[in-house]
Structure 1
Amino acid sequence: MADQIDEEARERLKAALWFSIGKIVDEESIKRNRNATPQFIGALADLVWSQIENVAIDLESFSRHANRTTVTTADVLLLARRNQDLHSIIKDIVDKEKARKLRNKAKGKGKA
């Protein structure tokens, strides 16, 4: 029963991904005065789904290796380590968020 529910959820997610990618491709096709076949959209959706699965497996593995049950930003940064530009963007976002939390924490202590 649980396997059937998981499979149904998986199929709904894949359908939602296919739909979203189809909308994006349609918008870009209109902008560029091009056409994209349903086969192209399906192949692109399958490719993206594969990448999502690989990323999820890697993130879970990194988290498990660190004896954690939760994926953290450290795991995401580790995943992005081979793409320096992506790593820099993510690192900047993480650093800004940490600084914001520290400022908010300091403001809270100042009032007490």
Structure 2
Amino acid sequence: MADSEEQALEERLKSALWFSIGKIVDEETLKLGVNATPQFIGALTEMVWAQIENVSTDLKNFARHAGRSTISTDDVMLLSRRNEGLEALLRSYMNTQKPGKPSRKKR
């Protein structure tokens, strides 16, 4: 993919993320009776984008370290290992998606 195509795709993805975050912020500000500036939404979008980039890099590296070219649920669980609440939520979700396959036990 050419650099200009990659940049265009990244801008479209960032725009979609900004729109989604804006909708969530609007819903929450209505519930709380507060206001959020467009600058806040923009800053939050940039922070979420940076986190997505970090997570995607980590997942790609975990898969590569395991000798795979595809990211698996094991990689996602490895990423969540330091956040017990997230790990429990993901395990619960995985168990509902694959009821026949037992999840790995926590060490």
Structure 1 length-normalised TM: 0.84
Q: For the residues of structure 1 that align with 2:85 and 2:68, how far apart are their CA atoms?
A: 27
Q: For the residues of structure 1 that align with 2:48 and 2:2, how far apart are their CA atoms?
A: 25
- 1:66 — aligned with what? 66
Which one is further off, 18-27 or 92-101?
92-101
Matched residue type, 1:16: A
- 1:42 — aligned with what? 42
1:21-47 Cα offsets, whole Å, 9 max, x none, are 111111111111111011100000000
- 2:19 — aligned with what? 19
CA offset at residue 101 of structure 1? 7.0
Identity percentage of aligned residues: 56
Alignment of 1:1-112 (within 5 A): 2-100=2-100
Q: For the residues of structure 1 that align with 2:52 and 2:23, how far apart are their CA atoms?
A: 19
CA offset at residue 96 of structure 1? 3.1
Structure 2 length-normalised TM: 0.88
Computed over aligned residues only, the root mean square deviation of the Cα atoms, in angstroms, reads 1.6
Q: For the residues of structure 1 that align with 2:95 and 2:23, how far apart are their CA atoms?
A: 33
Matched residue type, 2:5: I
Which one is further off, 18-27 or 7-16?
18-27
Larger Rg: 1
- 2:105 — aligned with what? none
5+ long unaligned stretches in structure 1: 103-112
The structure richer in helix per residue is 1
CA offset at residue 98 of structure 1? 2.5
Matched residue type, 1:4: S
Q: How many residues align?
A: 102
Q: For the residues of structure 2 that align with 1:97 and 1:30, how far apart are their CA atoms?
A: 34
